[in-house]
Structure 1
Amino acid sequence: MQLEFYKYQGAGNDFVMIDNRSGFFPKEDTQLVAHLCDRRFGIGGDGLILLENDTDTDFKMVYYNSDGNQSSMCGNGGRCLVAFAKDLHVIAGKTTFIATDGLHHASFEDNGLVSLQMIDVPTIEIKKDHTFLNTGSPHHVQMIEDLEHYNIKAEGAAIRYGELYGAAGSNINFVKKIDDTTFRLRTYERGVEDETLACGTGATAVAIAMNATGQTSATAINVNVEGGKLVVSFDKNENGFTNVFLKGPAEFVFKGTIEV
């Protein structure tokens, strides 16, 4: 069949978008999803996202990693899906949608950036050499001084497949402090099994982890990723971290059809 698709990116985190409001897409076909995400034989993307109807919100987000499997929340993917929904005239401005980790609110800034509310983070595991938390997806956060020359793929895979996280694994984030409100981040993403140019839930995890471990007292934090810049803001109180927002670019790249 001829499959119409759209391509979006958020700070270099790129996604194949499909309007599945009619329910035509074979959602259990992991090989098809992996093929569409393949950068040599398919369209290419860090993941694939279906936009679907929902009875209680504006739309539903169904997210697949590039390995073809449905996965946990993707922050940049969520922001790109909001932009996609606006381009399809599903929404006009502010929106509410449902994803695998629950309800999300999003809005467009005057500069075209998309601001997405992430889930609250009530608990964080602070260890001697790393921090672990769930921001819609599981994230290991570890500080590395020589981040520029660090072997992200090898070291990230070693932790992702190591004893810490078992068969489920985790996303692995390596971070360096730039100043009191700015951090540089490089992420190894599970499901992609490689470094990606950006990770929204990872940037969110890093910002919260840096505050929780005393690296910063700021509650609005700039996260410089390989593909651009993201901003994470939150409230910190007795319930943990609430009103968590991820803000950054979400841009249309191209559209087309592919024979599948």
Structure 2
Amino acid sequence: MLNEQHTLKMNIHFFKYQGAGNDFILIDNRDLSFKDTDNNTVLQLCNRRFGIGGDGLMLLQNHSSYDFEMLYFNADGNLGSMCGNGGRCIVAFAKHLGIIDIETNFLAVDGPHYAKISGKGNEVELQMIDIDTIDRDGDAYVLNTGSPHYVTQTEALNDLDVYQKGKEIRNNETYKAAGINVNFVEDRGDHLFVRTFERGVEDETYACGTGVTAVALSMAKHKQQSGHIQTPVKVLGGNLRITFDYNGEQFTNVFLCGPAEQVFEGDVSI
């Protein structure tokens, strides 16, 4: 009887979304039916060979003061910090569920976020947190846009071994304990080309929302720009856009903009 109880499984309905190639498992958990959030369960679901596959997993839950709450888990199974593309995807998911129309205020781990959906329905503009501190580590910039980021400029980014270089920086003596996301940027004049090694995934991903945001702000500071700034960014998974105001000291009205699309839905036993 004990063995039978241990083999009992629960059926969970899930959705798969992607934003510029950053892909996520999304679960409507307003009824709190998904309780098994231990590392191994999330890790297995995010596994690309033995599970659904994804850069992370998100639960959409009720909140008394907001339209919904976003709970984000990294692909390694650990509860994560803010995920920008995940935030855009969960907004599109909330619209699909009929929770919101074209605007929303929701709660994430780094606080409240406002977002709006364009008329076409798959373009989501997500407001990120204000930033007033950017540190330096040699020639690199270090800042927190909801998640910690390291930003370094490079040339010939197409040919760079992002996995190896990113892994080295993420695991050096300065950052190994807490971890950091490592962004490599090439300034191509009319846009920035960005590739990112993400902690929690421990690999390069096709896009990182908080990462491209960190890059855009760092490059504005590096170039001593000010005013209202729009920065087009190309990533492996497509194109994103960051808009913000910068007065030389603080970044405000920061928005991460780009597509968020449903890929498929299904059921899984856990």
Please confirm whether the aligned pair reaches a TM-score higher than 0.5, indicating the same fold.
yes
Would you say 1:3 and 2:12 are equivalent positions?
yes
Q: 1:230 touches 1:247 (CA, 8 Å); kept in 2?
A: yes
1:216 and 1:236 mapped to 2: Cα distance? 8
- Residue 194 of structure 1 aligns with an amino acid whose one-letter code is D
**Contact 1:79–1:116, Cα closer than 8 Å, also in 2:** yes
Compute the displacement of 1:110 (Å). Answer: 2.7
Which amino acid letter does the alignment assign opposite residue 89 of structure 2?
C
- Structure 1 segments, 4+ long, off by >6 Å, are none
- Kindly provide the amino acid, as one letter, of the partner of residue 118 in structure 2: E
Structure 2: stretches of 5+ with no match in the other structure? 1-9
1:197 equivalenced with 2:206 (yes/no)? yes
Q: Deviations over 1:29-61 (max 9, x none)?
A: 111001110000100000000000000010000
Q: Residue type matched to 1:61 in 2?
A: M
| CA distance, structure 2, for counterparts of residue 216 and residue 195 of structure 1 | 29
Distance in 2 (alpha carbons) for counterparts of 1:210 and 1:27: 41
Q: Superposed, which structure 2 residues align to 1:235-250 within 5 Å?
A: 235-237=245-247, 239-250=249-260
Task: Name the SS for the 1:219 alignment partner.
Answer: strand
Tell me the equivalent position of 2:170.
160
Residue pairs, 1:220-231, within 5 angstroms: 220-231=230-241
Please list the CA deviations of residues 93-126 of structure 1 after superposition, one character each: whole Å capped at 9, or x if unmatched: 1000000000000001234310000000111013
C-alpha distance in structure 2 between counterparts of 1:110 and 1:131, whole Å: 36
Q: Which residue among 188, 195, 210 is the counterpart of 1:178?
A: 188
Residue identity over aligned pairs, in percent, reads 53
The C-alpha deviation readout for 1:114-167, integer Å capped at 9, x for no partner, is 000000011101343200010000000001102111111111010001022240
CA RMSD of aligned residues (A): 1.3
Structure 1 match to 2:140: 130
Task: Give yes or no for contact 2:221–2:248 (8 Å, CA) kept in 1.
Answer: no
Contact 1:126 1:213 in 2 (8 A): no
Question: Structure 2 length normalisation: TM-score?
Answer: 0.93
CA separation of 1:89/1:25 partners in 2, compared to 1, >3 Å: closer, same or farther? same
Cα distance change of structure 1 residues 166 and 193 upon mapping to structure 2, 3 Å threshold: closer
Which of these two proteins has the greater Rg computed from alpha carbons? 2
Distance 2:164 2:248 in 1: 38
- Does the 8 Å contact 2:181/2:196 carry over to 1? yes
Between the aligned partners of 2:64 and 2:11, the Cα distance in structure 1 is 28
Per the alignment, residue 35 of structure 1 pairs with 44
After TM superposition, the structure 1 stretch with the greater mean CA deviation from structure 2, 231-240 or 92-101, is 231-240
